[in-house]
């Protein structure tokens, strides 16, 4: 079931909200939790019911391991060994379903055989709920978890707004909210804030992301067949996909936060205007924030972080980003994408170290410094998205050759003004318009809203006057946005991050 489907908007969501708050109204909080957990599993199973077995096994296994780790009684084996077994089983599941075909196909190519597992279907959201539970096990090992009961744990993992494509939530962020009895009482402000954010996200997905995709897909498909794009075709395709992914992911993140807020739950911010970043490090503080935090806390820092010298720091960065790329997909294009971002980060750190050595105050930058950093960062990100989007390494290099002027420079006859105007309009929107969290900042729409303060535009009087308020003008505007988006649901299109 998709957020941008009529059955979700007009059936599943309103029914789930009604039953949840009715159970909360009569004070049966445990039953409300049970209902929401079951509804979340139903939501997950809508796509492919047999994979409910996988997620239920994962829930039971990780809950048992986590419970054993959090208990202080004497055990026949060490907690470290128990944690190791837990992590291995989780990685084995994700390794089999997500990477077995990739690994075997590469081995087959090396050996000249035809052995493969092409019939393996990737279970929806396996990367997200697996990483979320690995983090839980590590925290249980460290003694940072409480003795949660199984029902609460199930809801923590399966809560449907964040189950399919994030954000990757931490138990400390949401478990206390489900323990708060006020969560189960209907709150008009939460509902108004949630509906507004959901509507904005739906509009981004349906109107922006889906409509700009038509300028990227044909060029990438042609490159897969060996056709080299011209300079202009390559750049239009790359920019179109850059914007498609931006508004698709931003739209999903908004919709997830909005749905959760309707239930009285605040999810962490996962997306904070990444195309306004002035460095590649800044980009990764803004893009898929919860994944970046996970990779930092559970991979980069355990590897040694920056504590063991410059060479080791660069090595740790590269390994972290390579694995981050592999997390996104089982393919060489994703590995190259992750590796490229690792190289970007290493260059960024080396440049900062050089400037610091030369006596520059890194905290005191001028307009030209920030402007050049923003332009260079955006260029680097667009180049990397070509690898992320391409179906093969060869087709990615054909697109990149076109972008760097190594193929035809002619202006294609099929080039339309509409495509250029649409891309320019969306670029202006992504670069200069406040994001959803900034529009809604008076009502603290999500956790960690302080992340947007460094980039807040509330000090500008024009934006401050336009910030969201629960009044008639905004009600009409949100209603129009929602109606336009819903009427544009001519066909359902999956969110891009569903495949990761």
Active-site residues, by number, are 328
Question: Is the separation of the CB atoms in 167 and 267 below 8 Å?
Answer: yes
Q: First and final CA of the chain: distance in angstroms?
A: 17
Q: Which residues contact 91 (CB under 8 A, 6 or more apart)?
A: 130, 134
How many alpha carbons lie under 13 Å from residue 316 in its C-beta half-sphere? Answer: 20
Pick from 40, 455, 13: nearest CA to 261: 13
Pick from 392, 397, 420, 415: nearest CA to 407: 397
Sequential DSSP letters for 326-371: HHH-SSHHHHHHHHHHHHHHHHHHHHHHHHHHTT--TT---HHHHH
Sequential DSSP letters for 109-177: HHHT-----TTPPPPTTHHHHHHHHHHHHHHHHTT------HHHHHHHHH-HHHHTT-----HHHHHHH
What is the C-alpha to C-alpha distance for residues 324 and 335, in angstroms, rounded to an integer? 8
- For residue 207 the two structure tokens come to 């109107």
Q: What angle do CA 188, 194, 196 make, to 5 degrees?
A: 105
Pick from 358, 392, 339: nearest CA to 105: 392
- For residue 180 the two structure tokens come to 């708060």
- For residue 370 the two structure tokens come to 């920030």
List phi, psi (to 5°) of 199.
-65, -40
Burial 309-332 (b: 16+ CB within 10 A, else e): eeeebbbbbbbbbbebbbbbbbbb
List phi, psi (to 5°) of 215.
-95, -10
What is the C-alpha to C-alpha distance for residues 176 and 86, in angstroms, rounded to an integer? 25
Tokens 């697109």, residue located:
399
What is the C-alpha to C-alpha distance for residues 433 and 425, in angstroms, rounded to an integer? 11
């Amino acid at each position: 079931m998709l957020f941008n489907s009529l059955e979700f908007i007009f059936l599943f969501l309103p029914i789930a909200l009604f039953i949840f708050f009715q159970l909360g109204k009569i004070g049966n909080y445990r039953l409300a939790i049970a209902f929401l957990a079951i509804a979340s599993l139903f939501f997950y199973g809508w796509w492919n019911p047999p994979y409910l077995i996988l997620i239920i096994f994962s829930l039971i296994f990780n809950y048992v391991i986590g419970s054993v780790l959090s208990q202080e009684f004497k055990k026949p084996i060490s907690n470290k060994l128990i944690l190791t077994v837990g992590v291995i089983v989780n990685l084995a599941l994700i390794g089999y379903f997500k990477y077995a075909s990739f690994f075997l196909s590469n081995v087959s190519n090396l050996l000249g055989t035809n052995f493969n597992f092409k019939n393996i279907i990737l279970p929806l959201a396996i990367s997200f709920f697996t990483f979320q539970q690995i983090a839980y096990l590590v925290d249980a090992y460290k003694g940072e978890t409480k003795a949660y009961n199984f029902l609460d744990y199930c809801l923590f993992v399966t809560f449907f707004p964040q189950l399919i494509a994030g954000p990757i939530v931490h138990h400390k962020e949401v478990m206390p909210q489900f323990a708060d009895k006020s969560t189960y009482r209907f709150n008009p402000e939460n509902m108004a804030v949630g509906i507004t954010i959901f509507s904005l996200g739906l509009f981004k997905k349906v109107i922006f992301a889906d409509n700009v995709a038509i300028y990227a897909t044909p060029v990438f498909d042609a490159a897969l067949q060996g056709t080299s794009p011209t300079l202009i075709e390559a750049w239009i395709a790359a920019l179109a996909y850059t914007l498609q992914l931006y508004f698709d992911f931003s739209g999903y993140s908004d919709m997830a936060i909005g749905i959760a807020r309707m239930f009285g739950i605040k999810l962490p911010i996962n997306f904070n205007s990444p195309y306004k970043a002035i460095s590649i490090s800044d980009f990764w503080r803004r893009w898929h924030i919860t994944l970046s935090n996970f990779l930092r806390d559970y991979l980069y820092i355990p590897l040694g972080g920056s504590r063991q010298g410059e060479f080791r720091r660069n090595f740790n960065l590269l390994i972290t980003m390579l694995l981050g790329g592999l997390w996104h997909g089982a393919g060489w294009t994703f590995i190259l994408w992750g590796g490229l971002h690792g190289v970007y980060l290493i260059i960024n750190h080396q440049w900062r170290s050089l400037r610091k050595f030369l006596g520059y105050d890194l905290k005191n930058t001028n307009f030209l410094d920030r402007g050049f950093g923003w332009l260079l960062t955006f260029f680097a990100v667009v180049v990397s998205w070509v690898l992320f989007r391409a179906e093969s390494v060869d087709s990615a290099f054909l697109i990149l050759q076109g972008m760097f002027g190594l193929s035809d420079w002619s202006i294609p006859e099929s080039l339309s003004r509409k495509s250029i105007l649409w891309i320019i309009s969306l670029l202006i929107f992504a670069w200069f318009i406040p994001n959803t969290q900034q529009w809604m900042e008076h009502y603290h729409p999500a956790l960690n809203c302080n992340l947007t303060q460094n980039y807040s535009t509330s000090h500008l009087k024009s934006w401050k006057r336009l910030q969201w308020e629960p009044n008639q003008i905004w009600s009409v505007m949100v209603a129009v946005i929602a109606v336009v988006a819903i009427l544009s649901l001519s066909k359902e299109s999956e969110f891009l991050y569903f495949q990761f």
